[in-house]
């Protein structure tokens, strides 16, 4: 991400909610690109911080949906892991345990999916959720 792009996002902070609200949930390739971009921004609190609740809710929705491809679910679960690592204290302070509970609940649901539904690859959603 270039400094110019970061400057644009900081200046036009409402771009993230606009993108999330306009996201075509049938277009996995586009969703994947959006969440890959969020993964790159996770260290920038001024960019993602104000929109964490909305980002988390959408990432949980995608991660929990076994109809989506493994690669898409993988990128959203990675984002949730990064957010939990980087923002747990802030989330708990501002929202109580709501988001932490949601992440744990979805994680356990994914971890209990039948591994037979996936190739023998280690990077399956149930393995990643654990």
CA 39, CA 55: separation in Å to the nearest integer? 11
By the 8 A CB rule, do 2 and 9 touch? no
Query: How is the chain split into domains, by residue range?
Result: 3-129
> Do 79 and 39 meet the contact criterion of CB atoms below 8 Å apart?
yes
DSSP 51: G
pLDDT digits (tens, 9 = 90+) for 54-71: 999 999 999 999 999 999
C-alpha 17/C-alpha 51 separation (Å) is 7
Question: pLDDT tens-digit profile of 4-25?
Answer: 766 766 666 788 898 999 999 9
Burial of 10 (0-12, 13-18, 19+ CB in 10 A): exposed
How many Å apart are CA 87 and CA 79, to the nearest integer?
11
| Predicted TM-score of the model (pTM) | 0.85
| pLDDT band of 45, cuts 50, 70, 90 | confident
């Amino acid at each position: 991400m270039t400094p110019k792009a970061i400057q644009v996002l900081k200046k036009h902070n409402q771009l993230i909610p606009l993108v999330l609200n306009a996201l075509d949930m049938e277009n996995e390739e586009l969703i994947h690109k959006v969440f890959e971009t969020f993964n790159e921004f996770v260290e920038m609190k001024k960019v993602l911080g104000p929109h964490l609740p909305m980002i988390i809710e959408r990432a949980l929705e995608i991660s929990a949906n076994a109809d989506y491809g493994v690669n898409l679910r993988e990128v959203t679960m990675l984002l949730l892991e990064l957010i939990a690592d980087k923002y747990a204290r802030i989330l708990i302070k501002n929202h109580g345990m709501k988001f932490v509970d949601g992440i744990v609940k979805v994680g356990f649901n994914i971890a209990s999916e039948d591994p037979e539904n996936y190739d023998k690859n280690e990077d399956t959603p149930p393995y990643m959720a654990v």
